[in-house]
Structure 1
């Protein structure tokens, strides 16, 4: 009824072993200070408690549990009902789930989707539809144009900060220079770093198509 896929990540193993070492050190210090059992919390799994009834716990480090934790550090099991799905597809699908969560964070933080100061149902639906479309366009720009080389925060900062002021005959670009803008200009071939912009160049920027 299910398929199980076990993976191993060396970087995750190194990180996990470091965390285990810190927890063991805390557990040892609690043992030396004869701390109460309630003070151990999650660290209790690394300790053998001899006296369970007393206020003070007579404790010793559980070496077998530490050995087991270190042995399996870096391993992860994925369980799915997709029995016919290729292993690599299962792995990639699982590790792309965070992008869905990130998209919701973008709407909540960068796009200020909430709170919603609307009452009519159609207005509320319209509000979130615009937010979803904005996230979609931002994601297309991020992955298809910029090859995922820049974060959402950098892209949104550019969108909010890019400003021009209309002068007597030309537009003046008052946007602060950044590495992102310079790279974006190379990719799109748009005059984003020009100090003076003509009417034609402004139209070129607005009419740019991916």
Structure 2
């Protein structure tokens, strides 16, 4: 919506821009472009499915609960414990409760 005083109108330009971008997903890496160029970022994106699979495994197999931490250190500590447990379960193998 464009609001000018009492006047209100649909922002057609913004609507068209949203339609043009529908279906696209953008990632903005926090990497130094001099160190990690476009090829590196694109290559890392192709392995994103493995990261997502790890999260699905950790949530399912370890019955991970939602994280309600608010401080960066608490979040990192929680994820470290979850992934350490995932690594132990993976190492134990299927006969011992892991994969």
Q: TM-score range by the shorter chain?
A: 0.3 to 0.5
User: Who wins on radius of gyration, i.e. which is larger?
Assistant: 1
State the TM-score, normalized to the length of structure 1.
Answer: 0.26
Higher relative contact order (CA 8 A, sep 6+): 1
State the TM-score, normalized to the length of structure 2.
Answer: 0.48
